[in-house]
Amino acid sequence: MTDEHQFSPDAQRFLDGEARKSPSTPERDDALLLQRAVSAYANAIERPGPAVDDVVMEQVLRSAARAGRSAIWRWFTGPQEFHIRPALAAAAVLVIAVVVWLPTGSDDPAPTVAPVPPAAAMRSTEGSLVALPDSPRQTALVRFQLQAVLASSVTLLGTFNRWERPGIPLTRTGTDGTWTATIPVPLGEQRYGFLVNGSTWTPDRAAHAQADDGFGRTSSILVVGPRGIAR
Amino acid sequence: MRGGTQPADGEVVRRVLAGEAELFRVLVERYREEFGRFASSLTGDPDSAADAMQEAFIRAYTSLASCRDPERFKHWFFRILTNRCHTVRSRRKQEVPLEGPEPASAARTDARVEQNELRDILARALDTLTEEQRTAFVLKEVEGYGYDEMSRILGVGVDALKMRVYRARDALRARLRESA
């Protein structure tokens, strides 16, 4: 392009719509020709139709769906930071603890005294015990029995209650002077005896074995297995 | 949003980034309408403009997080669109050479023939400009923007823009005189 094709500053201002006077003839003709060409070009312009919108949005939503799937995957597989209110956290822990504890309540090793059907008795003799199988845990239910017609009270002491007085009370169950108590007894060898009227020590004569306790008394011995008295 | 005030660009951008991808349609409709003519002017035909706009919108969506000032989405998008228009125009020029003036028919008036010839001459002449000159010339002469608005939208000083427009006029003057 040579200098002869350059518009003068006046012509440029004229084309910008700022000039107060029109340029000289040759420049003015070229400026008007340029304006006519621009006008013809501008009049022929058509803007793209709204079909563009749908094409774009289809791709945008597809891209968003892909990004969403990968975002979920990243969330599951990546480290996450959580913000939690301490009060809500404590409440959540409490709820979880209750839910976890409730089903195990029945497994509590505390003594369970269940009704004992007589037909389930393993042994039943005067002044003896009857043991019944308990659930396969650390104790078995054992029914202790003593024939004491003139007694006003009978209690049971043994290794399973650390020989602590007054002992575990037996109940008179009939008119023939039979006293009974059914209690959970830890598995293994146990020693025990009865205290009649709170003072008279009486071993269980129906027990499998008797032994001297070293203090001048005789204690009865029983061995409790998971299914009841072993011997 | 129908029947109510259209949300500002910044709000739309933030909500799209937060996951409401379907809201991007608000921006597509808004700027397809506003810049559609400019895209056609810059590319030379509405089909090329449609291609450029689709590419620009998709590119804007996929890089939306890099739009530092969502309130100025319009200007950010305009620059993406301008680049896509230049690319599409260049690509189209390689595929299909721009046609010369259509032969005059008996049914056409002389004025109509001159209009078409001038239009085609200018279309071809625009290809001889640099991208910066073409953008500035189209905005100023075809779309009727003022220099101040051009400066805001392009992020270029007024004096520099005037220079680009002046150089474009000089180049086009030479082409028109050669073809006349």
Looking at the partner chain, which of A1, A48, A64 has a beta carbon nearest the beta carbon of B49?
A48
Distance CA A199, CA A216 (A): 15
Under an 8 Å CB criterion, which residues of A touch B?
1-2, 5-7, 12, 15-16, 30, 33-34, 36-38, 40-53, 55-57, 59-61, 63-64, 68
For residue B35, the model assigns a pLDDT of 94
Distance CA B169, CA B31 (A): 28
Q: pTM for this one? A: 0.57
Q: Is the pLDDT of residue A201 over 70?
A: yes
Closest CA to B24 of B67, B66, B68, B61: B61
The phi, psi pair for A208, rounded to 5°, reads -65, -35
Distance CA A133, CA B115 (A): 112
For every residue of B114-168, DSSP letters joined together read HHHHHHHHHHHHHTTS-HHHHHHHIIIIIS---HHHHHHHHT--HHHHHHHHHHH
For residue A22, the model assigns a pLDDT of 76
For residue B78, the model assigns a pLDDT of 96
Inter-chain contact B119–A41, Cβ cutoff 8 Å? yes
Closest CA to B24 of A147, A4, A100, A56: A56
For every residue of B85-119, DSSP letters joined together read HHHHHHHHHHHSPPP-PPPP-TTS-HHHHHHHHHH
Residue A95 banded pLDDT, cuts 50, 70, 90: confident
Question: Can you tell me the mean pLDDT for A193-202?
Answer: 88
Closest CA to B46 of B27, B28, B60, B32: B32
For residue A66, the model assigns a pLDDT of 82
Burial class (CB in 10 A: 0-12, 13-18, 19+), A44: middle
B119 interfacial to chain A (CB closer than 8 Å): yes
For residue A80, the model assigns a pLDDT of 67
For residue B152, the model assigns a pLDDT of 92
Express as a percent the part of chain A with pLDDT over 90.
15
Interface A:B, Cβ pairs < 8 A: 124
**Better-predicted residue by pLDDT, A31 or A21:** A31
Sign of the four-CA dihedral B113, B115, B118, B119: negative
Which chain B residues are closer than 8 Å to A52 by Cβ? Answer: 28, 32, 50, 53-54, 57
Which chain B residues are closer than 8 Å to A15 by Cβ? Answer: 169
Inter-chain contact B61–A63, Cβ cutoff 8 Å? yes
Looking at the partner chain, which of B37, B58, B162 has a beta carbon nearest the beta carbon of A47?
B37
Is CATH 2.40.110.10 the classification given to domain B1-98? no
Question: Can you tell me the mean pLDDT for A56-79?
Answer: 80
Inter-chain contact B21–A60, Cβ cutoff 8 Å? yes
The ranges assigned to domains in chain B are: 1-98, 108-180
Chain A: give the shortest CA distance to residue B178, in Å: 11
Distance CA B5, CA A204 (A): 97
Distance CA B52, CA B43 (A): 8
**Better-predicted residue by pLDDT, B119 or A67:** B119
B contact residues 39-58, partner A, Cβ 8 Å cutoff: 39-41, 46, 49-50, 53-54, 57-58
In total, chain B counts a number of residues equal to: 180
Burial class (CB in 10 A: 0-12, 13-18, 19+), B60: buried
B127 interfacial to chain A (CB closer than 8 Å): no
Distance CA B7, CA B20 (A): 14
| CATH label, B108-180, candidates 1.10.10.10, 1.10.238.10, 1.25.40.10, 1.10.1040.10 | 1.10.10.10
Inter-chain contact A49–B172, Cβ cutoff 8 Å? no
Give yes or no on whether B1-98 and B108-180 have one common fold.
Answer: no
Inter-chain contact B54–A12, Cβ cutoff 8 Å? no
Q: Which residue has the tokens 């209750």?
A: A98
List, for residues B74-102, the tens digit of each pLDDT value. Answer: 999 999 999 999 999 888 877 665 554 34
- Which helix H or strand E contains B172, and what residues bound it? helix B158-179
> Interface pTM (ipTM) of the complex?
0.82
List, for residues B37-87, the tens digit of each pLDDT value. Answer: 999 999 988 999 999 999 999 999 999 999 989 999 999 999 999 999 999
**Better-predicted residue by pLDDT, B159 or A9:** B159
Domains and CATH numbers, chain A: 3-43 (no CATH), 118-229 (2.60.40.10)
For residue A182, the model assigns a pLDDT of 87
DSSP B18: T
Looking at the partner chain, which of A16, A52, A64 has a beta carbon nearest the beta carbon of B54?
A52
Bridge partners, A192 (sequence order):
A158, A220
Chain B: give the shortest CA distance to residue A18, in Å: 12
Inter-chain contact B25–A57, Cβ cutoff 8 Å? yes
Task: Answer left, alpha or beta for residue B144, where phi above 0 means left and psi between -120 and 50 means alpha.
Answer: left
For residue A54, the model assigns a pLDDT of 93
Distance CA B159, CA B147 (A): 9
Which chain B residues are closer than 8 Å to A63 by Cβ? Answer: 21, 58, 61-62
List, for residues A116-158, the tens digit of each pLDDT value. Answer: 333 333 333 444 555 554 445 688 888 888 888 888 899 999 9
B180 interfacial to chain A (CB closer than 8 Å): yes
Q: Is the pLDDT of residue A36 over 50?
A: yes
Q: In angstroms, how far is the first alpha carbon of chain A from the final one? A: 124
